[in-house]
């Protein structure tokens, strides 16, 4: 990517930083927080909050997958077919995902030693090993004992493995592998080939959610083409507005359950349009964002990992204090409590980033390895 064409990039330790992508990451994490706030209230209190209007917040995961595909392809696309880049890629991905995840997962297990011991006796140590390595696991087990959101990180790791194949092998070798994989995902998505639910491995490898990583890679390829930047800014804005409109339409559809539609279509495609439009627009003009939105983007991973633990425990404390009956007697008070719960999850996530994740990344990053 020609950096001279990008008037709003910020270099930090050698990396091109697209602020729009950071803002999108922050917004995606906030959507997940709001969705899990409603889920926690339903599970613990059998009550809804904000009339369940944020039920579509789970789409933040779809947005994250598209963003992840874009970021990896945009930053590391030049590494494809260059095996010497593999070590650097793996190390950067490792320190980005695992250290802070291990810390939060361990804290969760220590705080619930009783239930963890039960799982260890019933399931065995292998389930703990899989949780720490982010191997695919039953989502109910993850929610009850480990970190509920870690199922999405398993897909993230799988995507990194696929990208390792692109880096290590030449085109003649990786092209058949990637083509067969994409074909399998498409056949499973369209229902032409139905994989039994009991086959956990194949369902994971060919899950339709993988298409969203592909969408993100396509977006990165498109915005990296010099010819694409000869288009007028009005088209970029149009893509941005169309993506926002379709995303809103899907959110309404999710709330009213009008038409059953896959999240890959409902949110994956709008997210892709948002990314293409926003990044292309940012490459042609200066766009300033509030520092708070940038912080949410920078802290999005910490927020994503810790918010459920925080919100769940605040809710349980309120239950022990017998405050729920009083709060739920007034819809305004109950809504304020739901907002307080969500804000606490976000604030703790931001503090985790500033005082744990960020120092940890700086400490583990070798001088010769650029940040991503």
Model confidence pTM above 0.85: yes
- Cα–Cα distance measured from residue 95 to residue 156, given in angstroms and rounded to the nearest whole number: 14
- Cα–Cα distance measured from residue 80 to residue 163, given in angstroms and rounded to the nearest whole number: 8
> In this structure, is the dihedral angle defined by the CA atoms of residues 7, 13, 16 and 22, taken in order, positive or negative?
negative
| 204-228 residue pLDDT tens | 999 999 999 999 999 999 988 866 6
pLDDT reading at 338 higher than 70: yes
- Cα–Cα distance measured from residue 328 to residue 49, given in angstroms and rounded to the nearest whole number: 10
Write phi, then psi, for 15 (nearest 5 degrees).
-105, 140
What pLDDT is stored for residue 62 in this prediction?
A: 98
Residue 20 is encoded by which pair of tokens? 């729009």
Which position has the token pair 């009213």? 256
For the residues of 45-99, what is the DSSP string, one character each? HS--SGGGTTGGGGHHHHHHHHHHHHHHHHHHGGGTT-GGGHHHHHHHHHHHHHH
Where does 169-290 have alpha helices with state H? 171-190, 200-205, 210-223, 233-256, 263, 269-282
pLDDT reading at 369 higher than 70: no
What pLDDT is stored for residue 255 in this prediction?
A: 94
Question: Hey, what's the torsion of the CAs at 146, 147, 151, 155, to 10 degrees?
Answer: -110
The whole-chain average pLDDT of the chain stands at 89
Residue 260 is encoded by which pair of tokens? 């059953």
| Beta carbons within 10 angstroms of residue 346's beta carbon | 22
| 138-172 residue pLDDT tens | 888 888 889 999 999 999 999 999 999 999 999 99
What pLDDT is stored for residue 1 in this prediction?
A: 40
């Amino acid at each position: 990517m020609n950096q001279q064409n990008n008037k709003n990039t910020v270099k930090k330790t050698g990396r091109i930083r697209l602020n729009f992508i950071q803002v999108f990451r922050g917004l995606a994490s906030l959507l997940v927080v709001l969705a899990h706030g409603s889920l926690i209230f339903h599970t613990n209190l059998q009550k809804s909050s904000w009339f369940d209007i944020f039920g579509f917040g789970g789409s933040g995961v779809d947005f994250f997958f598209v963003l992840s595909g874009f970021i990896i392809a945009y930053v590391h696309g030049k590494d494809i077919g260059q095996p010497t880049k593999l070590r650097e890629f793996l190390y950067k991905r490792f320190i980005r995902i695992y250290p802070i995840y291990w810390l939060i997962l361990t804290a969760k297990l220590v705080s619930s030693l009783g239930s963890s011991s039960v799982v260890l006796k019933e399931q065995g140590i292998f389930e703990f090993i899989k949780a720490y390595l982010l191997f695919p696991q039953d989502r109910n087990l993850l929610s009850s004992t480990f970190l509920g959101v870690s199922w999405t990180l398993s897909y993230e790791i799988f995507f990194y493995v696929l990208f390792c194949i692109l880096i290590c092998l030449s085109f003649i070798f990786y092209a058949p592998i990637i083509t067969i994989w994409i074909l399998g995902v498409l056949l499973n998505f369209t229902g032409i080939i139905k994989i039994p639910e009991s086959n956990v491995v194949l369902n994971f490898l060919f899950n339709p959610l993988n298409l969203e990583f592909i969408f993100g890679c396509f977006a990165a390829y498109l915005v990296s083409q010099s010819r694409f930047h000869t288009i007028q800014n009005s088209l970029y804005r149009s893509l941005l507005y169309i993506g926002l409109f379709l995303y809103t339409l899907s959110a309404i559809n999710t709330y009213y359950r009008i038409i059953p539609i896959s999240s890959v279509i409902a949110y994956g495609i709008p997210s892709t349009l948002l990314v293409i439009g926003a990044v292309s627009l940012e490459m042609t003009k200066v766009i300033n964002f509030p520092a708070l939105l940038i912080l949410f983007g920078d802290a999005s991973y910490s927020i994503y990992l810790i918010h459920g633990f925080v919100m769940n425990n605040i809710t349980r404390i309120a239950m022990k204090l017998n405050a729920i009956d009083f709060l739920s007697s007034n819809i305004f008070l109950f809504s304020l409590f739901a907002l307080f719960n969500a804000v606490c999850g976000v604030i703790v996530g931001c503090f985790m980033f500033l005082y744990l994740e960020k120092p940890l990344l700086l400490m583990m990053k070798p001088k010769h390895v650029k940040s991503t």
